[in-house]
């Protein structure tokens, strides 16, 4: 019996691959046989990810996704060197824990630029015939904050909610071309970005928050990486426009 999650002969671009969920997804995809292109701003951190991966043919492609206007040309040039892509994982993002009274236009635009506009630019370029192979898949890393209201997360929630709405419409539009687009919506996951966002909470308060919201406790990056691998693989060939909550039961309450 073949493994439906196997990714041999597949080429996948993973953004945010220098840490957290993106790093875990890149490592897992390499273990499943994929050739992975690693993208983030920090090349040294990308090399650390590469050192933990299995297989050969992986590639570092450092790039600042904040330069949204340059993404289409960058991605087309990258694919000229690597060949067409089978998958795209948009995991790069920034967090925001800020009361609404402190959210100004500049902050909201910064969050949207990285969390939403960069992902849209990547996905819209990915869907071009010369960039991707037939029967390809895009996975956008959203958040439960895009599904439920969370205090002091209005800017972040707005960016992730926009990402989810975009994926649903894009999925309908691109289905005839064989391109699937789905989201994963993680809850609280133990990552550097999560720790930074929650630095104002004591460990005791953080533990109490997780216990009150997630029946299965704090998640690990690999928990989300498994969901990403599933949505990239042929095992999910009949799934598009969906949001898979990987949240320890957060949205069940």
Domain range summary for the chain, segments of one domain joined by +: 11-188+221-245
pLDDT tens-digit profile of 186-198? 999 998 766 665 6
3-state helix, strand, coil in the chain (%, to 5): 50, 15, 35
The CATH code belonging to domain 11-188+221-245 is: 3.40.50.720
Looking at residue 102, what is its pLDDT?
Answer: 87
- In the chain, the DSSP E strands lie at 11-15, 35-39, 59-60, 85-90, 132-141, 180-186, 243-246
Looking at residue 32, what is its pLDDT?
Answer: 97
Neighbours of 74 (CB within 10 A): 18
pLDDT band at 100 (very low <50, low <70, confident <90, very high): confident
Across all residues in the chain, what is the average pLDDT? 94
pLDDT band at 97 (very low <50, low <70, confident <90, very high): confident
> 224: which 2 tokens?
């989300």
Looking at residue 199, what is its pLDDT?
Answer: 65
Catalytic residues: 156
CA-CA-CA-CA torsion sign (202, 208, 212, 216): positive
CA-CA-CA-CA torsion sign (99, 102, 105, 111): negative
pLDDT tens-digit profile of 67-84? 999 999 999 999 999 999
Residue 204 pLDDT greater than 90, yes or no? no
Q: Which of 49-53, 201-205, 206-210, 241-245 has the lowest mean pLDDT?
A: 201-205
- Supply the pTM of this predicted model: 0.94
Provide the residue count of the chain.
Answer: 253
């Amino acid at each position: 019996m073949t493994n439906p999650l196997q990714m041999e002969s597949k080429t996948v671009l993973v953004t945010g691959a220098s840490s957290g969920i993106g790093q875990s997804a890149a490592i897992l995809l390499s273990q499943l046989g994929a050739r992975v292109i690693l993208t983030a701003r920090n090349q040294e951190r990308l090399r650390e990810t590469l050192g933990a991966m299995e297989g050969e043919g992986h590639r570092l492609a450092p790039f600042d996704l904040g330069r949204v206007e340059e993404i289409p040309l960058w991605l087309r040039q990258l694919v000229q060197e690597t060949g067409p892509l089978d998958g795209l994982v948009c995991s790069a993002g920034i967090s925001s824990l800020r009361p609404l009274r402190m959210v100004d236009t500049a902050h909201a635009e910064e969050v949207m630029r990285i969390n939403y506009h960069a992902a849209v630019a990547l996905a819209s370029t990915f869907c071009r015939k010369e960039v991707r192979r037939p029967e390809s898949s895009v996975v956008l890393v959203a958040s439960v904050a895009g599904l439920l209201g969370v205090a002091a997360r209005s800017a972040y929630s707005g960016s992730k909610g926009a990402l989810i709405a975009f994926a649903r419409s894009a999925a309908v539009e691109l289905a005839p071309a064989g391109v699937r687009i789905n989201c994963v919506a993680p809850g609280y996951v133990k990552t550097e970005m999560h720790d930074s966002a929650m630095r104002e909470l004591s460990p005791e308060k953080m533990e109490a928050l997780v216990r009150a919201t997630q029946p299965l406790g704090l998640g690990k990056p690999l928990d989300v990486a498994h969901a990403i691998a599933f949505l990239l693989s042929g095992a999910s060939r009949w799934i598009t426009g969906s949001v898979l909550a990987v949240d320890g039961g957060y949205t069940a309450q």
